[in-house]
Amino acid sequence: MKRLLLPLAVTVTVAFAGEQFAMSDADRAMYKEMQENNPAEIYVEEGGEILEEQLGGDEALAKFLGVSEKDLPKEIATFPKYVPKLGNVVGLDQVIQAMQVEQGKERTKLKSGKMFSMLAYVKSLANGEIPNIDLNEPHEKVSYDLGKKTFMTKRGGRGLSCNSCHSKDVVGMVLRTQPLPDLGKVGSGSTWPAYRMTKSSLRTLQRRYQGCMKNALLKVIPIGSKEMIGLEVYVTKLAEDHKQPIAIPGLKR
């Protein structure tokens, strides 16, 4: 299946009145250049090659998920979701791990660059689709509720939560030279994995969560944990509510 490559003008939305104060001229020039040639495209292509060579590619993925290749983009847009044969709400990276186990292959670590590349490729197959989280599915509703609770709960010595930096009261304010976004309006749940300019590498949404937690001096929640999956479900639902299409790879400062 050929994935849909979207113009970066669609994949990255910057709509903050104060942005002119948040980026240096050098950063702005670099950002503009990367809009024309996102470095993460290399990782996405690499992920597709790895998936094809080691696991059977799109055909094998569709078979594992129980859908046709034609319907694969719409199925991918429903993740994270409850997968009955895995017995949990899982992300697409965990689906890849389950495929590896089923085929007798060594599991790739969720926090590895190899997994980031495969995840980016798989999710890019759904470019242009609106996320479709099913809150009528009981397990997914539980995961969403846990994600919302995790998002809102203040932790650590500073008493901070995800919501501390993303509530309507502070959206648009500048923190560490970066405007604080409304995660739904900017489609955070739709635009990761993404290339982070400040890290010069491809990162996933859950890896980004970990970076935020570390910066806020919070105990870092493991990638793939129920809390992390819940956070991704919650933030992806925010993107869905704002009709933000999947656009991978994203480009982030």
Per CATH, is 17-252 categorized as 1.10.10.10? no
Cα–Cα distance for residue pair 216/189, rounded to 1 Å: 21
In whole angstroms, give the CA distance from residue 204 to residue 209.
9
pLDDT value, residue 32: 61
Mean of pLDDT values over 234-240: 97
**pLDDT single digits (tens) 85-135:** 999 999 999 999 999 999 999 999 999 999 999 999 999 999 999 999 999
SS3 state of residue 112: coil
- What dihedral angle (degrees, nearest 10) is formed by the CA atoms of 238, 127, 22, 27? 160
Structure tokens at 204: 């996933």
Q: How many CB atoms lie within 10 A of CB 165?
A: 18
pTM, two decimals, is 0.85
pLDDT more than 70, % of the chain: 84
Across 52-61, 184-193, 197-206, 214-223, the highest mean pLDDT is recorded for: 52-61
Q: How confident is the model at residue 20 (pLDDT cuts 50, 70, 90)?
A: very low
Domain layout of the chain by residue ranges: 17-252
CA distance 86 to 137: 15
Give yes or no for residue 30 having a pLDDT over 50.
Answer: yes
State how beta strands 250-252 and 194-196 pair.
parallel
Q: Using DSSP, state whether 135 is helix, strand or coil.
A: coil
Mean pLDDT of the chain: 87
